[in-house]
Amino acid sequence: MSDSNPQYAELFCQSNFSFLTGASHAEELITQANFLRYSALAITDECSLAGVVKAHATIKNHHLSIKLIIGSMFWLNAECQIVLLCPNQQAYTELCRIITNARRRAEKGEYNLSEWDLMSLKHCLIIWLPCHKHADLHWGDWLNKHHKKRLWIGVQKHLQGNDRAYSAYCQSLASQFDLAITACGGVLMHSATRQPLQHTLTAIRENKPISEIKHQLLTNSERSLRPKEKLAKIFDQKWLNESNNIAQQCTFSLDTLRYCYPSELVPDGYTPMSYLIELVEKGKKARFPNGVPNDIDQLLTKELNLVEELNYPFYFLTIHDIVMFAKSQSILYQGRGSAANSIICYCLEITSVDPRQISVLFERFISKERQEPPDIDVDFEHERREEVIQYIYKKYGRERAALAATVISYRFKSALRDVGKALGISETQLDFFIKNINRRDRSLGWQAQLTELGIKPDSLKGQQLIQLVNDIIGFPRHLSQHVGGFVISAGPLYELVPIENAAMPNRTVIQWDKDDLESLKLLKVDILALGMLTAIRKCFDLIKQHKGEELTIADITRKQDDQAVYKMLQKADTVGVFQIESRAQMSMLPRLKPRCYYDLVIQIAIVRPGPIQGDMVHPFLKRRDGLEAVTYPSEEVKEVLSRTMGVPIFQEQVIKLAMVAAGFSGGEADQLRRAMASWKKNGDLFKFKSKLINGMLDRGYQAEFAERIFDQICGFGEYGFPESHSASFAVLAYCSAWLKHYHPELFYTSLLNSLPMGFYSASQLIQDAKRHHVTVLPVSVNDSQYIHSIVPSAQGYAIQLGLTLIKGLSQKGAEQLLHNRPSRGFTSSQQIKHIGLNKKDIAALASADALKSLSGDRYHTRWQVMDSIHDLPLFQSQQASSEPFLFTESPTEALLEDYAATGLSLDQHPITILDKAQKLGRFTRQTELLNRAHRSMVTVVGVVTGRQSPGTAAGVTFFTLEDDTGNVNVVVWAKTARAQKQSYLTAKILKVDGILEHDGQVTHVIAGKLTDLTESLNGLITSSRDFH
């Protein structure tokens, strides 16, 4: 008689990391299995362990009683299906190794498991899932021969018509090979309600509508986690018991994994700690040539003691080795983030932030209570980071180094497109929906907007579309490589986590992302790319080449008090300047008026959602301008907040306040920081409220002060910006501003040669250069190099635009042109025809007007270089006929051609052209706005170069319009955007009627009426940085 409440362990369950197959998150599966009182759940994604850490973390974070079993499912030769489970550490190592081997010998996203892989297994438990085919006899015999003592037959029952026959078949195989049988669910979803989503995933995987693949769909919802009472009626009692017996053998936990640091960086005769101390002492003398201040020396001693106690010297030695390699190769780098809170990092040249210039908080970097490795981010030149990455691979080998993964998940647009296609909605209709739905309109959700666009919410298809899109958002689509997070180990990394090929050649990634690594407290070294470092290095090279001066970031940092640079910043003249070039930063600069380096640190951090939501910006500005008194409730609080006028601006200040005002330990304060980072998701921050407020009350602070501090902490939320981060960025902000002020031609050239990066396109950078009286010369077959270059001019230097700007010109074609260019240049367009360029390259050169010096405008050029009749043997003896009468191109045609060919025009701005053609009516240019009265009605017109809608802006969108004199800031309220959605979302040239507002030297227009003037210059190809 069957037990109505049997013990059961689900041993075959796939999460949504079996991409486009599993229909539930690992967290949902483990939570539901615990609710159903399963004794254990095995997460067995196909050739993958990508989901297991998330299930493991869910058990720990929510104190669930269920056991997690680590495993994976495989197909061998497409005819043998097996599940491997890990009873112990040795089995886990085996599983990681064979997943790595199978993935590494195949293209990204695929795997190729061999019989040799399976033969090598000595510890994994194996569940064989017969396919009811003739090949079963072969595989049953083969598996039984090699893995007799660790082999079971798994039987699945999904209430299909052949369940009874299949069970009998498996029983006969079990008898023939003398194997035990275990029940298996073949689970793909935590709940039966996910069956429609599983069908949708199948359709997406097959790239066909659901209506065309009905034979491939699940016939019912039995591949969900089912109540044990139901399982007791379906499966033989012995098979259920056997699942539990197998689960009891599986004692391995991810908690037992131990990371070992690489050890070869320590010379003979040293311990890791003694070598680190020697390097720090050497660096200390270089960093503090006049002696180390006592407070800094005391902090350094404290850091070194804690590093030794927590056994982290290898970590610092690893980072130091990497940055020293970069330094030896003249690759610019800059450590940032919490590393700037470490004097060790400063002495090791990992970061350039002098600890005397900021308030160092080592607990932000390393904490004894936190018991996890520190996190150091190092930025390298974005064009040379690959050299650093390949150095790491070469030094440690691909067995010991790999990039962390990034999970690429469904977001709204990709979800709507894929689900819509699965439901049979046409591509044209989906394009229309995606183009016209404003996701930033929080008061009118996308579901309501779909209804406005024609989807009937009460229809079956409408209900399916809305529900399935909601369900699939957040589902993983595939693994990609992290932007630079490396995992480096002492032994083979594949014994810790599986490794697979990345899409990029010569790259490998592990199957865990940064959150997984953090959950298991595993080391990650962030090797990041930063375009501004590339631009600065190129600018240094140009300065040395053209002015004979050698500069470094340190040289410029020593000039941090140059008031000429700060006057430029106070005018918000920061296009191209690192971190302070956005519309929001430009609006703040004239208000904050930075006068020193630390002001820049504040400037970078204050234009963030945290200080804005915490209502810290206006009090700070009022106190800075002397309009509000600066008061402190105690000397301890004054010590923390004095540098920011009594207002907490930085994350470190919040942590310190918790320590000095509420009595938190360093570790408790860091836990508070972590709770801040995720409080909107889980509300953990409120667990600290009573301790924080009571701690302040017990120390004599007023209740009003305590409540205000807690409200400010909530305001910071996940947007709090660390002072250490801002300090690192401020070094590069000042450096780039200094270069722009003193070497503008060279600075703009370096920016152009480093694109894509930053906020601005080549067109916008060149417009700004011209406003600074920099001469910019057009692309020319006789004067241009491949990249943009510096040439002498009457004013000193000019920017010569390079061939790289021309759309459609191949790099090979450009190199061929330069190789064949005579020393004195080409003398006729006919010469271009005979150097072997293909027609596409010649056409691109002609369209860009690059032959203007040889043949006049581009119309004549095309006639001369594209007419090939005289190249034919019959006509070679004849003189070319006179050119037919050709119309001279109009300014409008020239503009459109320029933008189509190069993305910009040096001759006339689109707004100038339209104004001369009297297509704009009366409007106010950017340079005239300050002359208009506050709150007056104005009309502005410009090319849309940016739309920004920060998460804290309550549905407000900030537009940047470029006219022929500068950039106009436009504020569009959500109601205005909703009423004029088409112009709001799609206009390339926009006319705005609205109210002008002044705030000192800052102006913006509150939009009333939006008019799309794109058709006035139909065919204009522009770029806009929208909603980044």
How does 992-1016 read in b/e, with b if 16+ C-beta sit within 10 Å?
A: bebebeeeeebbbbbbeebbbbbeb
Same-fold call for 9-190+225-256 versus 910-1026:
no
Residue (of 427, 430, 16, 413) closest to 198 by Cα position? 16
DSSP assignment of 543-611 equals: HHHHH-----HHHHHTTTT-HHHHHHHHTT--TT-TTS-SHHHHHHHHHH---SHHHHHHHHHHSSHHH
Residue (of 591, 592, 593, 566) closest to 577 by Cα position? 566
Which tokens is 667 given? 């570790």
- The secondary structure of residue 433, as a DSSP letter, is H
- The secondary structure of residue 200, as a DSSP letter, is H
Is residue 122 classed exposed, middle or buried when 0-12, 13-18 and 19+ CB atoms within 10 A define those classes? Answer: exposed
Return the pLDDT at 36.
97
The residues, ordered by sequence, that sit 6+ positions from 72 with a Cβ below 8 Å of its Cβ are: 44, 45, 46, 47, 48, 49, 83, 84, 95, 99
Return the pLDDT at 872.
42
522 vs 452: CA distance, rounded Å: 49
How does 566-580 read in b/e, with b if 16+ C-beta sit within 10 Å?
A: bebbbebbbbbbbbb
Residue (of 533, 565, 580) closest to 552 by Cα position? 533
Which tokens is 844 given? 């691109």
Q: What is the pLDDT of residues 266-283, one digit of tens each?
A: 999 999 999 999 999 999
Return the pLDDT at 875.
42
How does 531-544 read in b/e, with b if 16+ C-beta sit within 10 Å?
A: bbbbbbbbbbebbe
Which tokens is 367 given? 């904490």
* 8 Å CB contact between 41 and 30: yes
Which ranges of the chain have pLDDT less than 50? Answer: 1, 869-882, 885
124 vs 144: CA distance, rounded Å: 14
Return the pLDDT at 685.
73
768 vs 576: CA distance, rounded Å: 9
Return the pLDDT at 848.
93
* 8 Å CB contact between 672 and 714: no
Q: Give 40's strand partners.
A: 9, 67
Which tokens is 483 given? 């932007």
State the first-to-last Cα distance of the chain, in angstroms, to the nearest integer. Answer: 63
Which tokens is 356 given? 């005397």
503 vs 726: CA distance, rounded Å: 33
Q: Give the architecture (CATH level 2) of 9-190+225-256.
A: Alpha-Beta Barrel (3.20)
Q: How many CB atoms are located within 10 Å of the residue 12 CB?
A: 23
761 vs 756: CA distance, rounded Å: 8
The residues, ordered by sequence, that sit 6+ positions from 309 with a Cβ below 8 Å of its Cβ are: 368
Element (H, E) at 379: strand 377-381
* 8 Å CB contact between 937 and 944: no
Return the pLDDT at 280.
97
98 vs 780: CA distance, rounded Å: 57
Is residue 456 classed exposed, middle or buried when 0-12, 13-18 and 19+ CB atoms within 10 A define those classes? Answer: exposed
* Angle of CA points 1005, 1007, 1010, to nearest 5°: 130
If DSSP codes are grouped into helix, strand and coil, which group holds residue 485?
A: strand
Q: Give the architecture (CATH level 2) of 910-1026.
A: Beta Barrel (2.40)
Return the pLDDT at 718.
52
Q: How many CB atoms are located within 10 Å of the residue 774 CB?
A: 21
Q: Cis check for the bond before 756: say yes or no (omega within 30 of 0).
A: yes
For the chain, give every domain's residue range: 9-190+225-256, 609-720, 760-872+884-902, 910-1026
Which tokens is 214 given? 């009905």
Q: Give 957's strand partners.
A: 972
* Angle of CA points 686, 687, 689, to nearest 5°: 60
760 vs 949: CA distance, rounded Å: 17
Q: Give 486's strand partners.
A: 403, 525
Tell me how far CA of residue 856 lies from CA of 488, 828, 902, in angstroms.
60, 11, 18
* 8 Å CB contact between 814 and 911: no
Residue (of 1003, 358, 299, 220) closest to 723 by Cα position? 358
In 787-890, where does DSSP find H-type helix? 811-820, 829-833, 839-847, 852-855, 858-866
Which tokens is 651 given? 């994350």
Element (H, E) at 398: none
Return the pLDDT at 879.
47
